[in-house]
Amino acid sequence: MGRPPCCEKVDIKKGPWTPEEDIILVTYIQDHGPGNWRSVPTNTGLLRCSKSCRLRWTNYLRPGIKRGNFTPHEEGMIIHLQALLGNKWAAIASYLPQRTDNDIKNYWNTHLKKKIKKLQTASSDDHDPHVLALSDHSAQYQKKKIFDMATSPLASTDLTFHDNSSNSNFYASSTENISRLLQGWMRSTSTKTTMDTKNVDVSPSGGSHGNIIGDSLATIPLRGYCPKGEKPGGEDLISEEVFESILSFDNLNTKIGNWDHKNSSSDKGSDDENIKDEYDDVKNDRKTRPADDHKNSPPPLSFLENWLLDEASTGQVGDMMELPFIC
DNA sequence: AACGTCCTCAACCGCTATAAC
DNA sequence: GGTTATAGCGGTTGAGGACGT
């Protein structure tokens, strides 16, 4: 005898969730907290499998979830982390706590992967001077990675925001999610009743917003990789801030590669001492941290990874909005 | 207006590791 | 220790909207 089944397999509803179902689920979780998913269908009367309830909460209703366009910095992080970690969407999502792994996976599959492939094809016989400048053995791996990243045709349409609520870069918190779904529910209900929708509170996420970045955000073609025949503003463009992020990343990666190389040949420059110390700290941290610590929390951050996160906190992306754009 | 194609993304599927019985 | 459910993950699907002809 094992555990009893989580729910009856018969009469289980599938497909998109309705606002009513969301409200029932959110109300229940507000009262009881997330977890014990097994009891959710039974206690709420939802004709959903417990797994479906958990996924709906995790991927859509959970607090703090961002929805809408990915920012240039988020795109840069996804590119970098995907290069570092591969298709470990949950791990990548742990560095973007407001994004779900499902969102990141979808965004990668529908936007980034496609553009990267296209531009790599377009630039197959071209080479970036930043890549060619790398010469030592450890840089070979970086070379390929940087080339891959540098040829990433990032976010043209997605960086060219429109004042359009469906493309809004405003991200709804769970409260706003609920508010939004409540509005939709009330509106749809109001068509059946005499409810005065003018009195319905309009959540920030529900309205039409000018994006913070907005129309001022231009895009530029990736230097040296603007495919022939592509007009400015078309696909395969890369934003200035993402490009600078990649270059910064290149420099740090190159430093690591150079330090590794120097370290192995006992040629340690004083300028690299800080890098070495930080590098050692990271290595020690990875050695000393219990394996279980990785299970429910992000792995320890390398200073590369810290850089990725620090960039957001220093407002670098915002500062770059002021940069002139070229094409 | 009608039709076909493409694109997006929420939801599902199937698998593995772990926990509960 | 064996069996079964759950949690978590990555891959895939398909409904519906956008777009082009």
pLDDT in tens, A239-260: 455 545 544 444 444 443 343 3
A135 vs A183, higher pLDDT: A183
Residues A69, A169: contact at Cβ < 8 Å?
yes
> Given this model, what pLDDT does residue A252 score?
41
Q: Is the CB of A164 under 7 A from strand C?
A: no
A137-168 burial: b if 16+ Cβ within 10 Å, else e: ebbeebbebbbebbbbbbbbbbbbbeeeeeeb
Over residues A23-35, mean pLDDT: 84
> Given this model, what pLDDT does residue A122 score?
64
A235, burial (CB in 10 Å: exposed 0-12, middle 13-18, buried 19+): middle
* Res A51 pLDDT > 70: yes
Q: Is the CB of A107 under 7 A from strand B?
A: yes
Given its phi and psi angles, is residue A198 left (phi above 0), alpha (psi -120 to 50 degrees) or beta? Answer: alpha
- Separation between the CA of A247 and the C1’ of C9 (whole angstroms): 32
Q: Is the CB of A214 under 7 A from strand C?
A: no
Residues A282, A44: contact at Cβ < 8 Å?
no
- Separation between the CA of A210 and the C1’ of C18 (whole angstroms): 21
> Given this model, what pLDDT does residue A176 score?
54
- pLDDT grade for A104, boundaries at 50, 70 and 90: very high
- Bases along strand B below 7 A from a protein CB: 7-13, 19-21
Residues A147, A128: contact at Cβ < 8 Å?
yes
- pLDDT grade for A297, boundaries at 50, 70 and 90: very low
Q: Which nucleotide C1' is nearest A60 CA?
A: B10
A171 vs A186, higher pLDDT: A186
Instruction: Report CA Rg, chain A.
Output: 24
User: From residue A73, how far is each of A159, A254, A309, A318 by CA, in Å?
Assistant: 11, 21, 9, 10
Q: Rounded distance, CA A300 to CA A297, Å?
A: 9
Determine which of A9-13, A35-39, A219-223, A269-273 has the lowest per-residue pLDDT on average.
Answer: A219-223
* Res A59 pLDDT > 70: yes
Q: Is the CB of A50 under 7 A from strand C?
A: yes
- Separation between the CA of A311 and the C1’ of C10 (whole angstroms): 28
